[in-house]
Structure 1
């Protein structure tokens, strides 16, 4: 599997890298939260911009990204607008989504960009091309908050992300049973062993799936999401505990 390195953080080898969400609703909260994250033992930061109350002012978002990036300094910044259908905070049209992304690619400062798999194919490719021209890495993702698809479907979606030229391929699913957690881990292992030529990130959400957030080095998941103050998805483990667990499970 090829690795991806962003600001000295290498994804795809060794223990999963810890990424924490930034979920402030305004500039004051975001600045305070970003400064707090400098004291946290994490590797990357994800700005969940759908929490930002000025998200519909795209230029303001781009300016805010510069302020956050300046505070975070050497920590890579992943920019994410999570759509409502995949668990986000507010509804956005496709036009708004891609216009926001284009503005931030051109006028903001980010290192990685989250793009959802099941969006308009042509607009996705245009966005990926624009981001790559600026040296921004693409994290393509899919979330299922209701269920865990079967193993073949999980693998198929991850392979589809590779085919679309994502730099990192990510899927998160909701388990209804321990068998579902095993399905996610088996799909991850198959992807790593047979199909993946770039980093993949997988997780089974909620309390039931929490184990999947900790054993990525064994099965092949390159990143894991930890909670600093507020979690952005169910089942995220506090960062301090997560780092110790990853050290214990390191191969």
Structure 2
């Protein structure tokens, strides 16, 4: 399997890499959260730009990205606008969604962007192509906050994202019971072992699915999310505890 290198982090090699989200409404609050990450064990920062009051203004977005780069130095930054239909803070027109992601990639201030895989093939392909032209990697994502699809459907979606050209396919699903968590883990193992030629990210959400955020190395998920303060999705553990468990599993393996 090919790995994905962003700055000093190699995704898909070794233990799962930890992503910490920044979720805040103002430029000052975002900078404060970024400064508060110092000393915590994580690998990548995800800025959830859909929380930001100025997300509709590319100039304001760039200002925040400059702040983040100044504060975070060589830590990789993933920029994500999570749309309302996939659990985010607000809706956005597709033309604006394309522009936001492409303009951010062109700044040279982000290392990865998140593109929702079912935004339409042409939308996704355009963003991926232009991000790659700017030297930015792409996480293609899909979120189901209501259920866990069948194993074959989860694998199909991940393969679809890979075929679109995303550097890292990602899926997050909601379990209705413990068997749903096993479904997600089985799909992860099948994708990683038989179909993936690049890193993937998978998770089962909420408290029921928390084991999936810890056991990625055993089943084939290359990254996981931990909360510094505010969680950006149901079931995120605190980053310090998350890192301890991942280290223990990695050492035992």
Q: Same fold (TM over 0.5)?
A: yes
Look up the match of 2:233: 233
Q: Secondary structure at the match of 1:209?
A: helix
Aligned equivalents of 1:186, 1:124: Cα separation in 2: 27
- Native 8 Å contact 2:62 2:107 kept in 1: yes
Asked whether 1:200 is paired with 2:203, we answer no
Q: Which residue of the partner structure matches residue 103 of structure 2?
A: 103
Corresponding residue for residue 65 of structure 2? 65
The answer to whether the 8 Å contact 1:63/1:108 transfers is: no
* Matches for 1:1-251 after TM superposition, within 5 Å: 1-107=1-107, 109-250=109-250, 251=253
Matched residues in 2 for 1:66 and 1:95: separation? 24
Q: Deviations over 1:65-109 (max 9, x none)?
A: 121122111110000000000000011111221121122122361
Q: Residue 37 of structure 1: SS of its match in structure 2?
A: coil
Query: Where does structure 1 differ by over 6 angstroms across 4 or more consecutive aligned residues?
Result: none
For 1:108 and 1:58, the matched residues in 2 are separated by 14
Q: Which moved more, 1:85-94 or 1:181-190?
A: 85-94
Q: Deviations over 1:190-239 (max 9, x none)?
A: 00110000000000000000000000000000000000000000000101
Instruction: Tell me the distance in 1 between the aligned counterparts of 2:150 and 2:166.
Output: 22
TM-score (norm 1): 0.98
Number of corresponding residues: 251
Distance 1:194 1:125 in 2: 24
Whole-angstrom distance in 2 between the partners of 1:9 and 1:109: 16
Residue 127 of structure 2: SS of its match in structure 1? helix
Q: Secondary structure at 2:208's aligned position in 1?
A: coil
Inter-partner Cα distance in structure 2 for 1:10 and 1:234: 26
- Contact 1:34/1:68 (CA < 8 Å) preserved in 2? yes
Task: Specify every segment of 5 or more residues in structure 1 that has no aligned partner in the other structure, as ranges.
Answer: none
Q: Tell me, which stretches of 5 or more residues in structure 2 are unaligned?
A: none
TM-score norm. by structure 2 comes to 0.97
* Partner Cα separation in structure 1 for residue 76 and residue 37 of structure 2: 12
- Deviation of 1:120 after TM superposition, in Å, equals 2.1
